[in-house]
Amino acid sequence: MDATIAGSNNDASDSKEATMRLLHTMLRTGDLDRAIAFYTEVLGMQLLRRQDYPEGKFTLAFVGYGIETENTVIELTYNWGVDHYDLGKGFGHIAIEVDDVYAACAEIKRRGGTVVREAGPMNAGTTIIAFVADPDGYYIELIGKRG
């Protein structure tokens, strides 16, 4: 398989501007207001936009740490009348880099969040990580900033 796409390769040192970028990850939620509160009040993201689609009977909300033109964000999808989803076994987690994993876990707990794996070295490694769960049960990995 060719590693180049539209004239750019995957090497960050390549002088050509990449033509593709990751825009967002979509998560379905059974309670949009609860999910928005978690991502904004517990994880400190911003609600970037929210829009109802009455004809499709769903609402989309986008949250993130910065504007969508410069950052990858999370799309929260609420299908009207659906109050929960089975998460399945295929999805793993979302990862967020933090300066201090121990401090981030303490702050998340203080804000009412659930830490499901306390801060500490990863299995078979030295990187400090932790896991938290959002109100719908999706896992968010916190990874300590390197270097």
The CA–CA distances, whole Å, from 3 to 7, 22, 23, 74, 138 equal 10, 17, 20, 27, 32
141 assigned to active site: yes
Kindly name the residue from 41, 97, 118, 141 that is annotated as catalytic. 141
Residues annotated as catalytic are: 141
